[in-house]
Amino acid sequence: MQDLKKRLEEMQECLRLSSTDVRDRQSLLGLDADSLTCLTAHAELIDGLHVGLVDAWYEHLLTFPDPARLLGDEGKLRRVSDMQLRYYRQMVSGPYDMQYARLRLLVGLSHESLGVEQKWSTAAYHFYLDYMHRSLQRVLPDQPEQVDSLFRALMRVVFFDMTLTVDTYFTAKRLELEHTRGRYARALLGSNDGIWEWEVDADRLEVSPRWLAILGLDADSAPTTMTQWIERMPIEQRSGFKAAFNAHLQGYRPQMSIECQVRNALGQPIWVLVRGVLSANSAGDRVLAGSLSDINLRKTAEQELAHVTLHDPLTGLPNRQSVNRLILQALQRQSKPGARHAAVLFIDVDRFKLINDSLGHQIGDKVLIEVGARIQRCLRPGDHLCRFGGDEFVVLLDDLAQADDAQSVARRIMEGLMHPMIVAGHRLSVTASIGIAPLHGSNEAQDALREADLALYRAKAFGKSQMALYNDDLQIAVNQQLRLENALSEALEKRQFELYYQPIVQVEEGNARVIGVEALLRWWQDGSLISPDAFIPILEETGRIVEVGDWVLRQACLQVLAWHEQGFAGLRCSVNLSSRQLHNTGFARSVASVLEDTGFPPGSLVLEITESLLMQDGPETLATLRELESLGIRIALDDFGTGFSSLGYLHRYPLHIIKVDKSFITKAPDDERLRAISRAIIGLGRGLSMDVIAEGIETSAQMDFLRDEGCRYVQGYWFSRPLSASSLSPVLESLSGRCITDGAGRPVMLS
């Protein structure tokens, strides 16, 4: 009810219905006092005719299916007939004031909401006039003038009433349309989208103000044809846009939807989402209408994000993630007939860590930027350069005339890098190693990269500034290495390791005395004995050297302890250490616990470290070595002379023994320079109160040289090869504290 009242007021306002208007409507129809008097005078007659009229009307109306369905049963028909009767009575009795007009609007409204169509009510007025005219003529056959004036008065009230009813219908429709439009406008305002409508066949385009506002255009520059819209788009996007339209127009897509760019007033491309649906207008023409949403912010953010995820922030080059995509694209091109050659170059800056460590990361970064720029200068526009990570770059060479061209480019890159770089006042010479892998259509992206990486690995093995080409042998070698790694990972568990021992002998005036043994690791694999040089580097790489080293230490201590108990008291036990062990936090504590567990005297333990280990490290190594020293353990510097150690190490670190590498002593008897060096090392050790052990002694000439130089400690095949614990026991027996000389007074080789 409330709703009806509200609608009535709304309608009244929309119709501008006022007392004046009501009076005007009467005057227009000539509904004057005479007409009213005439009607009042014949009110009874008219009322009587109304009864037959209403019956006749409903009888007529019920012959139509819709009204028949609506009026339904007898009771309803009676009620409606009564109402109709009252309606006509009021229509001819008035008074025709505001109240009357409002009541008519109300009736019209309820008819409209009941679904009584306008054609029925108009027909009812016609039926009324027709029936009344004929009835008046019938009841007043002798008074044609009276009939005439009465009928004219009836016609005026009917028209007065009818215009109000027609207005009600019309206004109701208008209000409904306005409500719909209002809702639509509000929705549009809320969605912030532009609207467009395109008459397809006439190529007539209309766009809303918001459409224009999104692109910063004024009404004068609004496109009026689809052609003009498309002209506002970047050329490369036009075909996609047209294809999206056509797919919908031809029925392949239920809706047209595309993200594209349209140039704004300043000519800048703006990302928009264009959506539309085809329908027909009232004239049956094809009309495609839809929206235009501003997605520029989202799209720009997406693009920035994509750029960040696919590019390296330092050099701005495509990053590791991009490499796969680029190689995949190149592989697709490769698989097409007539494709030219392509290759992947894996580039690694030589000793970049040294630059970073010595000059700092900031300079390191600048060097990488410069390296990237220099490589880029060696490439053609279709090639791609990516920063793979750290100091590694990947180049994808496409469209090569010959496979060999990849090597030429690699050479050019190496030369390009070779010129000294001036970075933050430092003059640096940077070199790179390059692995080259040709790209085949049958490759996967990962294969090409792996192959180039393998080739790089090979190049690095040759030294600095080298390049290598991938071949299948490399893969075989890697597979072998992998198999070795796998087998090695189980070796400890399968008890395939064994310790061999080599005596360290003190020689004084022809007396040889075993003062210690060096434990040397062996690996039994498939019945053959593998030397540590072949597997220690792998253990170091995989980090397993830590647990294996722990086993070695424990095992060696137990064995030497057994020899102590067999009468070789004080026999020293030398154990080799790898840098990975020493870097392991708590290493000194783990050594201490082995000593504690086994009861091995710390004073009899020697740990051998190499020069390279000292070179790599700083304060932590020093602290660990000091801790070991404080336990009473001695530290030996192994293979002395083979590294690049500075003599400064000798007094900086707690070192007790120098082991002169066999490469010096072996050739010393015949080589003047090596003799001089060996002599200097022996003198150096003596000067620093360190024991000097000569390694790798095999001949009597070497023994003579050592005796002459006053080197008292010797290790080598001359006395004994490394042997298993059980084989070494008799050797210990025979060597221990005895004078073993040959006929010329020289010690005798036993093994």
Q: Looking at 520, 560, 606, 625, which residue binds ligand C2E (CB under 6 A)? A: 520
**Looking at 71-79, 348-356, 387-395, 710-718, which segment touches ligand C2E (CB under 6 A)?**
710-718
Of the two residues 387 and 634, which places its CB atom closer to ligand C2E in the complex? Answer: 634
| Residue 578: contacted member of Mg ion, ligand C2E, none (CB under 5 to 8 Å, by partner type) | ligand C2E
Nearest alpha carbon to residue 413 among 382, 444, 448, 372: 372
Give CA–CA dist 568/505, Å, rounded. Answer: 13
Each residue 521-540 as x (binds ligand C2E by CB under 6 A) or -, in order, gives x---------xxx--x----
579 binds ligand C2E (CB under 6 A): no
Of the two residues 716 and 747, which places its CB atom closer to ligand C2E in the complex? Answer: 716
Locate all alpha helices (DSSP H) within 653-724, ordered by sequence.
Answer: 662-667, 672-687, 700-709
Nearest alpha carbon to residue 697 among 499, 572, 512, 530: 512
Of the two residues 25 and 554, which places its CB atom closer to ligand C2E in the complex? Answer: 554
Cβ distance 705 to 668 under 8 Å? Answer: yes
Of the two residues 291 and 604, which places its CB atom closer to ligand C2E in the complex? Answer: 604
Each residue 638-657 as x (binds Mg ion by CB under 5 A) or -, in order, gives xx------------------
| Residue 621: contacted member of ligand C2E, Mg ion, none (CB under 5 to 8 Å, by partner type) | none
Of the two residues 169 and 640, which places its CB atom closer to Mg ion in the complex? Answer: 640
Q: Looking at 22, 162, 226, 552, which residue binds ligand C2E (CB under 6 A)? A: 552
Cβ distance 536 to 528 under 8 Å? Answer: no
Give CA–CA dist 22/7, Å, rounded. Answer: 19
Each residue 594-633 as x (binds ligand C2E by CB under 6 A) or -, in order, gives --------------x-------------------------
Give CA–CA dist 92/42, Å, rounded. Answer: 10
- At residue 200's C-alpha, the angle toward residues 196 and 202, to 5°, is 110
259 binds ligand C2E (CB under 6 A): no
Give CA–CA dist 610/604, Å, rounded. Answer: 20
Q: How many residues bind Mg ion (CB under 5 A)?
A: 5
Of the two residues 150 and 697, which places its CB atom closer to ligand C2E in the complex? Answer: 697
User: How crowded is the C-beta side of 343, counted as CA atoms within 13 Å?
Assistant: 27
Q: Smallest distance from the beta carbon of 577 to ligand C2E, in angstroms?
A: 6
Cβ distance 196 to 256 under 8 Å? Answer: no
Q: Smallest distance from the beta carbon of 688 to ligand C2E, in angstroms?
A: 20
Secondary-structure breakdown of the chain: helix, strand, coil percentages, each rounded to the nearest 5:
55, 20, 25
692 binds ligand C2E (CB under 6 A): no
Q: Looking at 87, 127, 170, 717, which residue binds ligand C2E (CB under 6 A)? A: 717
User: How crowded is the C-beta side of 182, counted as CA atoms within 13 Å?
Assistant: 6
> Binding to ligand C2E (CB under 6 A): which residues in 658-677?
662
Give CA–CA dist 64/473, Å, rounded. Answer: 97
| Residue 502: contacted member of Mg ion, ligand C2E, none (CB under 5 to 8 Å, by partner type) | ligand C2E
Give CA–CA dist 495/484, Å, rounded. Answer: 16
516 binds ligand C2E (CB under 6 A): no
* Phi-psi group of 32: left, alpha or beta (phi > 0 → left; psi -120 to 50 → alpha; rest → beta): beta
Name the site residues for ligand C2E (rule: CB under 6 A).
502, 520-521, 531-533, 536, 549, 552, 576-578, 608, 638-639, 662, 695-698, 715-717, 722
Q: Name the site residues for Mg ion (rule: CB under 5 A).
A: 576, 608, 638-639, 695
